[in-house]
Amino acid sequence: MIRLIAISNPRAGQAFIDYMASRQIDVQMMPEGEGQFALWLADSQHQAEAEAELQAFLHDPTGRKYQSASWDMAESRTAHFTYPRQKILTAIKQNAGPFTLFIMVVCIIAYAGLTLGFGNEVFSLLHFPATDDQQWQLWRLFTHALLHFSATHIVFNLLWWWVLGGKIEKISGSAKLVQLFLLTALFSGLGQYVFDGPAFGGMSGVVYALLGYLWLMGTLAPSRGLSIEPSYVGFMLLWLVVGFFEPFGMAIANMAHLFGLVSGCAIAVFDAKFSRAARNPS
Q: Is 3 exposed, middle or buried (0-12, 13-18, 19+ CB in 10 A)?
A: middle
CA distance linking residue 118 with residue 154, whole number of Å: 17
Give which of 104, 110, 99, 106 is closest to 88, Cα–Cα: 104
Give which of 157, 135, 252 is closest to 209, Cα–Cα: 157
| 192 Cβ contact list (under 8 Å, min separation 6) | 128, 200, 205, 253, 255, 256, 259
Q: Considering 70, 172, 204, 263, which one is annotated as catalytic? A: 204
Q: Is 124 a catalytic residue?
A: no
User: Partners of 30 in the beta sheet?
Assistant: 38
Q: What distances in angstroms separate CA 56 from CA 4, 15, 25, 183, 234, one per listed residue?
A: 13, 13, 16, 35, 23
Q: Considering 257, 263, 275, 282, which one is annotated as catalytic? A: 257
Q: Is 150 a catalytic residue?
A: no
Residues with catalytic roles:
204, 257
